Amino acid sequence: MNKSRSLSIVIPVYNEEENVTILFDEIKKVLEGFVKKYEVIFINDGSTDNSLERLMDLRKKDKSVRIINFRKNFGQSSAISAGFELCTGDYVITLDADLQNDPANIPDILEKLNEGFDIVNGWRKKRKDSLTKKIPSYFGNKLVSFITKVKLHDYGCTLRGFKKDVVKTLKLYGEMHRYIPAIASRIGIRSIEIPVNHRERRFGKSKYGLGRTFRVILDLISIKYLLSFSHRPLQIFGSLGMLMMSTGFLTGLYITYEKYFLGKSADRPLLTFTVLVLFLGFQIITLGLLAEMLTRVYHEGLNKNVYTIRETYGFEDENIDDRT
């Protein structure tokens, strides 16, 4: 890797006391002599075990460790987002704290970033997880690729590399971290997928169960909305509403014509239909206007974060770029 480039590694931690020390040692071994300027940012996402103590021990021994301590558990996406906010490296790599991602893949990722890609996605080709994870994830990846038009084999892999400017434009919440490549496609980026090693979880428990599937799908709907219509919500709501209102107008005309010219009773299912579509159409248009206003508020309020930080350690040190 280009020796003058600095690197930030961002790691979300939620109850991983047995893992963090081993992980940090692995990372150091990989980076030694290879990357000169780096920081390893751990985000303690409201752990209830001794993760924070283990991280503080690491920081005592090694000043490249930086810690963001959340006030409570805000979720993996918020943790990654906080890391993105405070990181200072030219290149940024995210990975899980549970040792399932292999730091040995870091050089491959850096190489691709050096080649000019903005995002390098890890693809867990031989995934070491239970079937209850692998099966929904197989269909999930197909669905997300289809809907977002950003085709990837593995949306769920946290091991990824980014250029600094990409991470600085992202705000994540919910289960959004898995859609980073899709969200980033909005700003026009070059991305690539490379196979990475995946390992079984040895210590601690997975933080997610089957319930995640639903949250992932709900977030997909909002991503699709964000990608396609977030700038002009009135265009989807509006066209649907106009369509319904014009249908109602036509059936209304027809039923009036029949009543006054043919003397038929207007009190028929068609009348109910007419009233229904007219009202619904009107409502949908107003909903679109509301969404339009919300979009403005959202874009203006983009600088607000979902998470709150109790304290940080190490960020007062000199910028990693100033280190020799």
Say which entry of ligand UDP, Mg ion, none residue 16 contacts (CB below 5 to 8 A, set by partner kind): ligand UDP
Say which entry of ligand UDP, Mg ion, none residue 13 contacts (CB below 5 to 8 A, set by partner kind): ligand UDP
Say which entry of Mg ion, ligand UDP, none residue 208 contacts (CB below 5 to 8 A, set by partner kind): ligand UDP
Q: Which is nearer to ligand UDP, 208 or 315 (CB)?
A: 208
For residues 172 and 81, is the Cβ–Cβ distance under 8 A?
yes
Q: Which residues bind ligand UDP (CB under 6 A)?
A: 12-14, 16, 45, 73, 75-76, 79, 96-98, 100, 206-208
Q: Which of residues 73-112 bind Mg ion (CB under 5 A)?
A: 98, 100
The three-class DSSP label of residue 310 is strand
**In the bound complex, what is the minimum distance in angstroms from residue 269's beta carbon to ligand UDP?**
51
Q: Which is nearer to Mg ion, 6 or 76 (CB)?
A: 76
Say which entry of Mg ion, ligand UDP, none residue 14 contacts (CB below 5 to 8 A, set by partner kind): ligand UDP
For residues 76 and 14, is the Cβ–Cβ distance under 8 A?
yes
Cα–Cα distance measured from residue 74 to residue 78, given in angstroms and rounded to the nearest whole number: 6
Closest-CA residue to 81 (of 299, 307, 297, 298): 307
Query: Which residues in 233-250 are b (16+ Cβ under 10 Å) and which e?
Result: bbeebbebbeebbebbee
Q: Which is nearer to Mg ion, 77 or 100 (CB)?
A: 100
Q: Cα–Cα distances in Å, from 19 out to 7, 24, 74, 242?
A: 22, 9, 20, 57
Six-digit token pair at 208? 């997610």
Q: Is 296 exposed, middle or buried (0-12, 13-18, 19+ CB in 10 A)?
A: exposed
**In the bound complex, what is the minimum distance in angstroms from residue 76's beta carbon to ligand UDP?**
4
**In the bound complex, what is the minimum distance in angstroms from residue 30's beta carbon to Mg ion?**
19
Q: Which is nearer to ligand UDP, 62 or 200 (CB)?
A: 200
Residues at the site binding Mg ion, with contacts judged by CB under 5 A? 98, 100
